[in-house]
């Protein structure tokens, strides 16, 4: 039996339960999504968008994991922008920007049980950032298919932090699809912070739909993980939109982080920025593919894409693929990518001052990725992340539980 | 303090030092002069343990310890400080974090408690005043965007923070105007104790007007070919090296 067939069977076996536990607004897309998945199958490495990660290996053997979760109880608080399975919102926005031509998104649409909704009304300004802690703590090996809908109506503004964590040693496989609608003149800062463990596999697809004068700052920080694939797609649909896709990765052991981004300038006068920095150490693998697409007629588009990487060991591997695809003639677009080692001269300078080699290496790595953190305008978050990165490098964040390599 | 015997060293396969003998006792200042490519910077890099330089023969002892078996950081903890000819810019590492790591690593090696945050910041402030370095420089990333003079002044600041017993000033005067030179030299003189010794590498007499050497050595083609008192520097300034070669 093929790997795909085992997931098709999984859906067939659980279909009745899934339908019973979720509203029609979710259920109506399931069969078609499963059909889309079975037509495509898991992407092989020869598929351009998935050439740096072995998707089949990530999904193989996980079919028997516990899947159905208990519904999240959420009490409605006045003014709280968060709800679950909000039918009105789902009818208007669910599955509208997510693309089921991506087999992971299709699988998620077919198998998800509920959708977390974050909704800001017209001109609503969130005074304080919202932090959502997503904790893997099932007590058994588990598969999860998570769905989030974020909607900012015209003129609204919000700061959201999604913090992915693990609390036990079990294996986790998660798909997640986040659909984000940022209305005209609305501003969203979305931070995603992963701090899981080496037995955790995550596929996270994020779609931004942006209106006129909409601003999005996305920051995607992989502090500790197992195998992670983030697919980030930003669609600039209204003029004068501005999107920033930043991210940093610290990987070692046998960790894999693959970030695949797309920024589509579909109308004139939009701006995009991208800064991704990786430090890959030991036997880890990092991949970055960033495409900026400027549609025909999208004049005065401005785009700057930078990807810088350090391979801190001889065995670590880094793949980088910056791409520009431009169909307009009055644009300013640049991209650049570097892969290097730690600066030997700087290392020696630090050691001459008495700083031991390991600590000198750490200082340089911290400084390297710190540039991404420094771009975060919220001082308290910026400080907290600097401290977390320092702890990460010192090994104080090590979540080696379940790591075959460390538990030998 | 420092005893170098028959030192041979090479870099990238090329032999640069061809049998150096040099003894520096407590409190002595030695000047090292010589033509470009004679091996002056190689000697200083070998003393501090730069991994690119390979010692093929000879020995160096420092206060009786075998220096060549020590890591660069251990040599630093033992009290050796190199004021770099071209200090490296390190973007993203603040001077404060850099110095805190350096001071506490040294204290740990000496089996002392790490400095408390307040004690450390006070030390930074006091030292900054002592060597008269702009407060703004100390709050930036290490050497990032510093002018040539500021970098050299920052070397002296670090020297003051770490209080070494043996300093190598590798062309500290290069790229400095007369005023900056005096400030840097004054800084060094202020930090000196009667036990501090130094190896001052320079092309010019003028630094030696401010830092008075006890001995002047001439290094040519990997060997010390002449040693005399401070008057030798003056002679070289007037007549060049050719008369020594002959």
- The pLDDT-based confidence of A52 (bands split at 50, 70, 90) is very high
Give A-chain residues touching B88 at CB under 8 angstroms.
Answer: 343, 345-346, 349
Cβ contact A371–B92 (<8 Å): yes
Name the 3-class secondary structure at B224. strand
Q: Which of B79, B89, B101 to mutate to test the interface with A (most CBs of A within 10 A)?
A: B101
> Is A138 a domain residue?
yes
Give residue-wise pLDDT tens across range B129-188.
888 888 888 889 999 999 888 899 999 999 999 999 999 999 988 878 888 888 888 889
**Using the beta-carbon criterion (under 8 Å), do B101 and A359 form an inter-chain contact?**
yes
Confidence at B240, pLDDT banded by 50, 70, 90: confident
Give the per-residue pLDDT at B41: 92
Residue in chain B nearest A372 by alpha carbon? B92
A367 → closest Cβ in B73, B77, B91: B91
Identity of the residue in B51, B77, B142 whose CB atom sits nearest the CB atom of A354? B77
Output b/e per residue, A4-32; b: 16+ Cβ within 10 A. Answer: beebbebbeebbeebeebbbebbeebbee
- Please state, in angstroms and rounded to a whole number, the distance separating the CA atoms of residues A225 and A145: 18
To the nearest whole angstrom, how far is the Cα of B231 from the nearest Cα of chain A?
33
pLDDT at A335 over 50: yes
- Pick the closest to residue A235 from A274, A177, A189, A293 (CA basis): A293
Are the beta carbons of B71 and A357 separated by less than 8 Å? yes
- B152/A contact by beta carbon, under 8 A: no
Least Cα separation, residue A350 to chain B (angstroms): 8
Q: How far, in Å, are A72, A127, A160, A396 from residue A79 at the CA level? A: 19, 12, 16, 38
In the three-class reduction of DSSP (H, G, I as helix; E, B as strand; rest coil), residue B235 is classed as helix
* Number of domains within chain A: 1
- How large is the average pLDDT for residues B189-201? 93
Q: Band the pLDDT of A74: cuts 50, 70, 90.
A: low
Share of chain B above pLDDT 90, in %: 72
Query: For residue A201, what is the enclosing H or E element?
Result: strand A200-210
Query: Taking CA atoms, what residue in A is nearest to B163?
Result: A353
* A370 Cβ under 8 Å from any chain B Cβ: yes
pLDDT of residue A400: 47
Complex ipTM = 0.96
Cα–Cα distances in angstroms (integers) from residue A406 to residues A265, A316, A399, in the given order: 45, 17, 10
Q: Which of A349, A354, A363 sits opposite B162 (nearest CB)?
A: A354
Q: Please report the pLDDT score of residue A343 as a whole number.
A: 92
pLDDT: which is higher, B113 or B177: B113
Residue A346: its chain B contacts at CB < 8 A?
88, 90
In three-state secondary structure terms, A39 is: helix
Please classify residue A378 by burial: count the beta carbons closer than 10 Å to its beta carbon, then call 0-12 exposed, 13-18 middle and 19+ buried.
middle
| Residue A389 distance to chain B (closest CA, Å) | 13
Residue A345 clears pLDDT 70, i.e. is over it:
yes
Interface mutation target, options A341, A352, A371, chain B, most CBs of B under 10 Å: A352
Mutation pick from A345, A354, A364, A368 vs chain B, by most beta carbons of B within 10 Å, is A354
Q: Which residues of A touch B91 (CB under 8 A)?
A: 367, 371
Q: Which residues of B touch A368 (CB under 8 A)?
A: 92
pLDDT in tens, A109-130: 999 999 999 999 999 999 889 9
> In which domain, by residue range, is A187 found?
3-71+78-394
Question: Domain segments of chain B: what residues?
Answer: 2-245
CB contact under 8 A, B162 and A343: no
What pLDDT score does A126 carry? 92
Band the pLDDT of A403: cuts 50, 70, 90: very low
Chain A residues touching B75 at Cβ < 8 A: 352
Tell me how close the Cα of A82 comes to any Cα of chain B, in angstroms.
38
Residue B10 pLDDT level (bands cut at 50, 70, 90) = very high
pLDDT band at residue A71 under the 50/70/90 scheme: low
DSSP per-residue string spanning A302-340: EEEEEEEEEE-SSS-EEEEEEEEEE--SS-EEEEEEEEE
Tell me if chain B has a CB within 8 Å of the CB of A337.
no
B98 part of contact set with chain A, CB < 8 Å: yes
Is B105 within 8 Å of A343 when comparing Cβ atoms? no
Question: Which positions in chain A touch B144 (Cβ < 8 Å)?
Answer: none
Second-level CATH architecture of B2-245 = 3-Layer(aba) Sandwich (3.40)
Q: Do B97 and A343 touch (CB under 8 A)?
A: no
Using a CB-CB cut-off of 8 Å, the residues of chain A touching B87 are: 349
**Of the candidates A212, A344, A338, the residue with the CA atom closest to the CA atom of residue A269:** A212
Nearest residue, CB atoms, A359 vs list B105, B109, B141 = B105
Q: How many CB pairs under 8 A join A and B?
A: 71
Among candidates A343, A356, A366 on the partner chain, residue whose Cβ is nearest the Cβ of B73? A356
In which band, very low, low, confident or very high, does the pLDDT at A64 lie, cut at 50, 70 and 90?
A: confident
pLDDT at A301 over 90: yes
Q: Does residue A399 sit within a domain?
A: no
Statement: residue A277 has pLDDT above 50: yes
For chain B, give the mean pLDDT: 92
Residue A356 touches chain B, beta carbons under 8 Å: yes
Residue A335 lies in a domain: yes
Nearest to A353 among B51, B71, B102 (CB): B102
Paired tokens of B203: 């092309």
pLDDT for the residue A72: 62
pLDDT, position A401: 44
Residue of B nearest to A361 (CA): B93
Q: Tell me the C-alpha distance between B12 and B53, whole Å.
A: 8
The minimum CA-CA distance between A344 and chain B, rounded to whole Å, is 10
Give tens-digit pLDDT for A239-269. 999 999 999 999 999 999 999 999 999 999 9
CB contact A71 to B (< 8 Å)? no
Query: Is A348 in CB contact (< 8 Å) with chain B?
Result: yes
Cα–Cα distance for residue pair A214/A370, rounded to 1 Å: 27
User: Mean per-residue pLDDT for A213-220?
Assistant: 98
DSSP string, A248-273: EEEE-TT-EEEEEEEEEE-SSS-EEE
Task: Please indicate if any CB of chain B lies within 8 Å of the CB of A351.
Answer: yes
């Amino acid at each position: 039996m093929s790997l795909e067939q085992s997931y098709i069977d999984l859906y067939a076996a659980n279909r009745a339960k899934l339908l019973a536990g979720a509203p029609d607004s979710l259920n109506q897309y399931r069969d078609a999504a499963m059909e889309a998945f079975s037509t495509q199958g898991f992407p092989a490495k020869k598929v351009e968008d998935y050439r740096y990660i072995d998707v089949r290996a990530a999904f193989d053997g996980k079919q028997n994991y516990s899947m159905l979760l208990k519904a999240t109880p959420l009490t409605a608080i006045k003014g709280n922008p968060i709800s679950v399975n909000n039918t009105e919102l789902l009818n208007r926005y669910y599955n509208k920007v997510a693309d089921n031509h991506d087999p992971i998104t299709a699988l998620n649409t077919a198998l998800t049980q509920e959708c977390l909704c974050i909704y800001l009304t017209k001109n609503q300004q969130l005074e304080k950032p919202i932090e959502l802690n997503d904790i893997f703590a099932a007590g058994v090996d588990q598969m999860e298919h998570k769905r989030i809908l974020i909607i900012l109506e015209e003129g609204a503004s919000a700061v959201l932090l999604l913090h992915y964590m693990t609390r036990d040693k079990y294996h986790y496989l998660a798909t997640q699809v986040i659909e984000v609608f940022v209305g005209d003149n609305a501003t969203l800062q979305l931070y995603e912070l992963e701090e899981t463990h080496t037995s955790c596999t995550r596929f996270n697809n994020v779609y931004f739909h942006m209106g006129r004068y909409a601003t999005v700052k996305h920051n995607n920080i992989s502090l500790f993980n197992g195998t992670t694939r983030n697919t980030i797609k930003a669609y600039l649909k209204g003029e004068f939109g501005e999107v920033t896709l930043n991210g940093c990765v610290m990987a070692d052991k046998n960790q894999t982080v693959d970030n695949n981004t797309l920024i589509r300038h579909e109308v004139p006068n939009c701006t995009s920025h991208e800064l991704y920095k990786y430090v890959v150490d030991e036997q880890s693998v990092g991949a970055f593919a960033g495409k900026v697409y400027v549609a025909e007629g999208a004049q005065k588009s401005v785009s700057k894409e930078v990807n810088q990487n350090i391979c801190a060991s001889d065995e670590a591997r880094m793949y980088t693929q910056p791409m520009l695809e431009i169909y307009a003639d009055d644009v300013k677009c640049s991209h650049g990518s570097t892969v290097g080692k730690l600066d030997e001269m700087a290392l020696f300078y630090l050691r001459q001052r008495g700083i031991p080699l390991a600590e000198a290496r750490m200082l340089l790595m911290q400084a390297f990725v710190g540039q991404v953190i420094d771009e975060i305008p919220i001082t308290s978050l910026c400080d907290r992340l600097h401290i977390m990165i320092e702890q990460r490098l010192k090994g104080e964040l090590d979540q080696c539980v379940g790591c075959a390599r460390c538990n030998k | 303090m420092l005893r170098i015997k028959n030192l041979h060293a090479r870099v990238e396969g090329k032999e640069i030092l061809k049998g150096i003998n040099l003894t520096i006792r407590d409190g002595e200042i030695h000047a090292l002069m010589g033509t470009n490519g004679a091996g002056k910077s190689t000697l200083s890099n070998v003393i501090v343990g730069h991994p690119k330089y390979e010692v093929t023969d000879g020995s160096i002892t420092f206060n009786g310890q075998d220096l060549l078996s020590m890591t660069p950081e251990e040599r630093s903890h033992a009290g050796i400080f190199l004021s770099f000819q071209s200090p490296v810019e390190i973007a993203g590492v603040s001077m404060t974090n850099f110095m805190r790591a350096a001071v506490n690593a040294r204290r740990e090696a000496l089996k002392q408690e790490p400095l408390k945050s307040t004690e450390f910041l006070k030390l930074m402030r006091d030292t900054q005043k002592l060597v008269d370095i702009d407060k703004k420089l100390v709050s930036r990333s290490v050497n990032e965007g510093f002018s040539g003079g500021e970098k050299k002044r920052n070397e002296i600041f670090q020297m003051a923070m770490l209080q070494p017993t043996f300093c190598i000033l590798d062309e500290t005067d290069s790229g400095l105007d007369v005023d900056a030179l005096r400030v840097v030299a004054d800084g060094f003189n202020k930090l000196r104790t009667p036990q501090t010794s130094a190896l001052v590498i320079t092309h010019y007499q003028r630094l030696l007007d401010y830092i008075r050497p006890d001995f002047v050595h001439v290094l040519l083609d990997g060997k010390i070919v002449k040693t005399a008192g401070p008057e030798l520097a003056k002679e070289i300034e007037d007549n060049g090296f050719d008369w020594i070669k002959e």
